[in-house]
Amino acid sequence: MISAHDVELRAGARLLLDSVSFQVAAGDKIGLVGRNGAGKTTLARVLAGEGQPAAGTVKVGGTVGYLPQDTRVGDLEALAVDRILSARGLDALLVGLRAAEHEMASTDPSRRDAAVRRYGHLEERLSVLGGYAAESEAASLSASLGLPQKVLRQPLRTLSGGQRRRVELARILFGGSETLLLDEPTNHLDADSVSWLRDHLRSFRGGLVVISHDTALLEKVVNKVFYLDADRSTLDVYNLGWKSYLDQRETDARRRRRERLNAERQATALQSQADKMRAKATKAKAAQSMARRAEKLLAGVSADRAPDRVARLRFPVPAHCGRTPVTARGLTKSYGSLEVFTGVDMAVDKGSRVVVLGLNGAGKTTLLRLLAGVEEPDAGEVLPGHGLRLGYYAQEHETLDNERTVLASMRSAAPDLTEADQRGILGSFLFSGDDVAKPVGVLSGGEKTRLALALLVVSGANVLLLDEPTNNLDPASRAEILGALRRYQGAIVLVTHDEGAVEALQPERVVLLPDGIEDAWSEELGDLVALA
């Protein structure tokens, strides 16, 4: 149970939330939504006790499991399975048991006796906590999230960003906390895992706050919606499921528009009356108070901020390259005994759009990593064509420099552009005005995604390898960013679960994994995207 009382949130100088109160009790399944940068992550951090509100109090009763948007893992040398078990303190118990076992072989009788007693205690604790069964429970939970046994036995250091994120999610779910705070839990998950997660959260009996742009998840899971309105710095609480919330919000927006029109009409009338009266000395005072009333009226209604329209500008032309900047022949990759794919051929033509499709574990990310050269194939080769310049978007934003500002990042990626053009391109990736002066480190998840993509587009790269580029983006930003990517003149190789993204990019070719069949794109393949 979490209760927030008169909570005010700020980010730098900006007011994100002005004095809100609410509760998260058992059985509350709350969808926390709002556009990128609205302050959802900031609020979740505060509820999790990882940040302080600018004013007000947050009281937490019981245990809370918090999945942050940016995965942070502790000890990278720890095994994935131990990381998951640590959620119930089981990892330390198991390590203690192993140590006690070792001591029990000691020749010193007093040490041996102490070890036996300790072993007994630990064993008892272990059985209270669900004992050895918990280990298999953790394993089955992990399997549902696309983490096979083999991966669980690996140290976190060797796992991909997506796998680490799954480990963290498994850890939180395994922890059995009374309240869960999940910030974008479906990022990095394949469709099978997402649908398992939807069911799991639906039957979860505790309190839940979930931040997600996955409308199918919201529809299935939530019974309340908190809409964080960035323009009004308020949290609108809807005690409704997702579908009814959408209807209600539409009605609310229409009502607010009507109220605003009314207020504007009245204010204009008052104002013009005041102007007339001001001319007469005897009425000056009345005129002033009328003008004040007009102001008040306008202040009382919220402006529905018109979405920032962005000028259609021209992106820098990618560096010159030959007809086929990348060719791959006979690519084969396995991890240990697990064969991911064998003998994949593909050719990426200048300016073409290629979608990589394949079921969970078919090796889509692996293929991109091979093409990007961050991983070596077991057999086969990636042949760079004449003038190839690659840009790789790998979801983790690790290419961003947290210390630089947004504008400085753009300047170093595209030093040849004028500042006006740099700002213009940032604008088409939805960074306007003061946003460009922010240090990258404070950006929200969606903002980081946008910046990383903007930097790739201007980098002169003529082939972009994009791995799930629409994760984290709210629907409006997603549409804008896809529009920007469509105008990019280089080639794009895309891995995604997002059907809309595929539609927007209008691909010409598709590569189907694990067989590596390359073919012309056709509409019917669209149905496969979400399955993949």
Count of chain residues binding ligand ATP (CB under 6 A):
22
Q: Does residue 39 interact with ligand ATP by CB under 6 A? A: yes
Q: H/E/C letters for each residue in 354-419?
A: EEEECCCCCCHHHHHHHHHCCCCCCEEEEEECCCCCEEEECCCCCCCCCCCEHHHHHHHHCCCCCH
**Which of the residues 69 through 128 are near ligand ATP (CB under 6 A)?**
69
User: Is residue 359 involved in binding ligand ATP (CB under 6 A)?
Assistant: no
446 binds ligand ATP (CB under 6 A): yes
Among Mg ion, ligand ATP, none, the one that 443 touches (CB under a kind-dependent 5 to 8 A) is ligand ATP
Q: State which amino acid sits at residue 407.
A: L
The Cα–Cα gap between 139 and 82 comes to: 11
**How crowded is residue 124: how many other Cβ atoms within 10 Å of its Cβ?**
11
Residue from 162, 206, 318, 445 that binds Mg ion (CB under 5 A)?
445
Among residue numbers 365 through 384, which ones bind Mg ion (CB under 5 A)?
Answer: none
* CA contacts within 13 A on the Cβ side of 237: 9
- 165 near ligand ATP, rule: CB under 6 A: no
What whole-number distance in Å separates Cα of residue 281 and Cα of residue 277? 8
CA 367, 373, 379, 382 dihedral sign is: positive
Binding partner at 207 among Mg ion, ligand ATP, none, C-beta below 5 to 8 Å by kind? none
The yes or no reply on residue 222 touching ligand ATP (CB under 6 A) is: no
Q: What is the DSSP string of 92-103?
A: HHHHHHHHHHHH
Q: How far apart are CA 94 and CA 316, in angstroms?
A: 57
Tell me how far the alpha carbon of residue 332 is from its chain's centroid.
Answer: 31
**By C-alpha distance, which of 346, 336, 349, 353 is closest to 371?**
346
Nearer to Mg ion, 42 or 144 (CB): 42
* Residue (367 or 440) nearer to ligand ATP, CB: 440
318 binds ligand ATP (CB under 6 A): no
Between residue 425 and residue 444, which ones bind ligand ATP under the rule CB under 6 A? 438, 442-444
Residue 35 vs 40, nearer CB to Mg ion: 40
Q: Say whether residue 40 binds ligand ATP (CB under 6 A).
A: yes
* 11 lines the binding site for ligand ATP (CB under 6 A): yes
Chosen residue from 2, 32, 39, 69 binding Mg ion by CB under 5 A: 69
- Tell me the two tokens of residue 314: 């021209």
Quick one: 36 or 144, whose CB is closer to ligand ATP?
A: 36
Candidate ranges 37-45, 85-93, 192-200, 453-461; the one touching Mg ion (CB under 5 A): 37-45
Instruction: Give all strands of the β-sheet with 379-384 in edge-to-edge order.
Output: 338-348, 326-335, 379-384
The partner in contact with residue 438, picked from ligand ATP, Mg ion, none with C-beta cut-offs of 5 to 8 angstroms by kind, is: ligand ATP
- Closest distance of CB 406 from ligand ATP, Å: 9
Q: Which amino acid is at 526?
A: G
Which residues sit at the interface with Mg ion, rule CB under 5 A? 40-41, 69, 444-445
Which residues sit at the interface with ligand ATP, rule CB under 6 A? 11-12, 14, 16, 34, 36-42, 69, 438, 442-447, 472, 474
